[in-house]
Structure 1
Amino acid sequence: MEVYALIVLYNPDFDSCLSNLYSIRNQVSKVIVIDNSQCEIDKDNFDGIIDFYYFNNNVGGIAQAQNLGIEYALSDGADFILLLDQDSFSSPEMVSILIRDFFKVRNSGFNIAAIGPQAINAESGIPYAPRFRKFSHFDLDSNVLFCNELISSGTLIDISVFKTVGTMNDILFIDGVDHEWCWRAKSYNYILSLTKNASLFHSLGEGDKSFFGIRISISSPFRIYFQYRNFIYLCFQNHVPFYWKVNNFIKYFVKYFYYPIFVSKHYFARINVGIIDGFKLLFLR
């Protein structure tokens, strides 16, 4: 079973990045690194850890970088690809558990495309969980759940699925890339699973803040632009679920005022430009 890990770098903390690579190296067949940093990282620093390195200079964001790695894995005969972020740390035996539970679902007759581990907030140690929807349980294992989307980091994908569903949508650049692919897979009658039998420690945004008891993840002004731009774009895509459009309308409505008032006034301009560019995308496509 050939499993290739794909990690996209963007100006990483080098020691943290190495720890991530070491945590996954012995769990997979090959490690692919796509370097999206503004200045190329010396690949000799990864000697003995990675099997394929490509410097992309962030031309097309994380989606294009992931597509480069996926194309390499497809041409090299991989069976599965494991997507990882540079700041996510896998638990021991995470990959073998993902494979085991993937086939547990498939052998029960389900057309499964991908499976992911339980994501745990690296700062608080608390598992990430959806606020407004519930998972359904797989009958043979209560820790294996059916879900509507997975975050990219830790997601194990049957590489043959890309031939039907296609690769990542590079128009999105960064935010929403993982969820959009999942919804597209579901539109082709695939299912997605999450297993609590495996865990991944993950950092989200620039940290969390509490607002009237609600946890709000803080994104950088760079990211907030793409979040609003891509929200507008995705709202008009038929395969994007209605509950996501409603939930995120509420979330971004709150953040429209919260960020400029409580975080920094500089967010206001970035949010508005993102909204305008989101509508431009619709007319240009």
Structure 2
Amino acid sequence: MPRTTAVVSLFNPDDGVLANAAALLAQADAVVVVDDGSPRDTARILAALESLGCGVVRLAENSGIAAALNAGITAALAAAPKPDYILTMDQDSLLDPGYVDALLTAAAAAAGAGVPVGMVAPASVRGLPVRRGPVLNGIQLGGEPIQSGLLVPVPVLEKVGLFQGPLFIDGVDSEFHLRCEAAGLRTVLAPNAALNHALGSPATANVFGRDVSVAGRPLKIRTAADWRYYYLFRNRILLARQYGRRFPLWTLKGLLADYRHLAIVTLLAPGRGIRLANAFRGMADGVRGVSGRRARH
């Protein structure tokens, strides 16, 4: 049976991560958690995670989701026995029973059908639509997946490398997907795997100071945290610069989707000013080729 190590990035975790880690430990052979330079005191929670049986890595400063995952993967690959697969997880994602086995089964089916596997993602993500690709040799391929709940064969990481740290956050999963596609490795969807994942926060639509209702119910608009708009729009441009020629349709669709979202939240969601300021600065830095953690000025 192949060995799987789960790698979880933590930032200011609360006690909820303990239940999530216990669920992971019931399915994976090992779990490595990485505290990404949390400003809060996380000593008690990290000690509790160690008591559960998790390996713990502490980063000295907040380095972003890619760097945190890379630190955990590096620790996992240095352990004995070496895992066959890495499962990347967010701290707030809770797995259904049988989730890891469903991904492993899908990976084996794809390999048996001659499909080169770059990663395996769940066919259903509660709270987010799943992008689907074509069916190849009876195997359902996927588009770019979300990072949480993603199963990656260790030989793939050894071939194409780890996650791209300079992106910091947002687009990290997209970049890895494109890098695998460029190497001829495919994203496979596991038909019997579902993941609970919430993207953004719902806000009541508001125009000119008045809440908007549809059929008597408040209209809800889902937005990301204000600061995320900097990375969303900067990294979209950075990825377009890096992969636009190889994947022009993906690049165009992504740009259009992001600017459509920005137009909708600007029109309907409160907090327009700070979101627009972050997005415009991200665009400017993306055009300039700036990467890494956002400079504080």
TM-score norm. by structure 2 comes to 0.83
CA 1:88–1:119 in 2, change beyond 3 Å: closer, same or farther? farther
2:22 aligns with 22
CA distance in 1, matches of 2:52, 2:5: 13
> Partners in 2 of 1:115 and 1:82 — Cα distance?
9
1:71 equivalent in structure 2 = 74
- Counterpart of 1:62 in structure 2 is 65
- Cα shift at 1:241: 2.6
Paired residue type of 1:228: F
Contact 2:221/2:265 (<8 A) preserved:
no
Give the structure 1 partner of residue 178 of structure 2: 183
Summarize deviations over 1:42-86 as a string: whole Å, max 9, x none: 221224324311121553200101111111122221111000111
Name the aligned partner's letter for residue 109 of structure 1.
G
Identity of aligned residues (%): 26
Cα shift at 1:283: 10
Aligned residue in 2 for 1:246: 252
State the aligned residue count.
273
8 A contact 1:118–1:199 mirrored in 2: yes
Going from structure 1 to structure 2, the CA distance change for 1:83 and 1:136 (only over 3 Å counts) comes to same
Report if the CA contact (8 A) 1:150-1:194 is conserved. Answer: no
Counterparts of 1:229 and 1:216 in 2: how far apart (Å)? 22
Structure 2 CA distance for aligned equivalents of residues 232 and 139 of structure 1: 34
Give me the whole-angstrom Cα distance separating, in 1, the residues matched to 2:247 and 2:146.
16
Equivalent residue for 2:287? Answer: 279
Tell me whether 1:97 sits opposite 2:102 in the alignment: yes
What's 1:263 paired with? 270
**Residue aligning to 1:169:** 164
How does 1:80-159 map onto structure 2 within 5 Å? Answer: 80-121=85-126, 128-130=129-131, 134-140=132-138, 145-159=140-154
Matched residue SS, 2:289: helix
1:10-33 deviations in whole A, cap 9, x for unaligned? 113x23212211221111111100
Q: 1:194 to 1:283 in 2, by over 3 A?
A: closer
In 2, Cα distance between equivalents of 1:92 and 1:73: 23
> Is 2:233 the partner of 1:235?
no
Instruction: State whether residues 38 and 57 of structure 1, in contact with CA within 8 Å, keep that contact through their aligned partners in structure 2.
Output: no
The answer to whether 1:10 aligns with 2:11 is yes
Higher mean C-alpha displacement, 193-202 vs 43-52:
43-52
Larger radius of gyration: 2
The equivalent residue for 2:295 is: none
Q: TM-score when scaled to structure 1?
A: 0.86
Q: CA deviation at 1:243?
A: 2.7
Secondary structure at the counterpart of residue 184 of structure 2: coil
**What RMSD over aligned residues (CA atoms) do the two structures have, in Å?**
2.7
Q: Which residue pairs with 1:46 in the alignment?
A: 49
Distance verdict in 2 for CA 1:266–1:19, change over 3 Å: same
Secondary structure at the residue paired with 2:122? Answer: strand
2:234 maps to a residue whose letter is R
TM-superposed deviation, 1:164:
1.2
Name the CA distance, whole Å, in 1 between partners of 2:124 and 2:61. Answer: 26
Where 1:236 maps in the other structure, the secondary structure is helix
Q: Evaluate the alpha carbon distance shift between residue 82 and residue 263 of structure 1 in structure 2; reply closer, same or farther with a 3 A threshold.
A: same
Query: Where do 4+ consecutive residues of structure 1 move more than 6 Å?
Result: 208-215
Retained in 2: the 8 A contact 1:4–1:28?
yes
Shift in CA distance, 208/175, structure 1 to aligned 2, threshold 3 Å: farther
Deviation, structure 1 residue 216: 5.7
Q: CA 1:3/1:208 → structure 2, altered by over 3 Å: closer, same or farther?
A: farther
**2:150 partner letter:** T
Cα pair 1:6 1:82 within 8 Å, conserved: yes
Change (3 A) 1:106 1:86: same
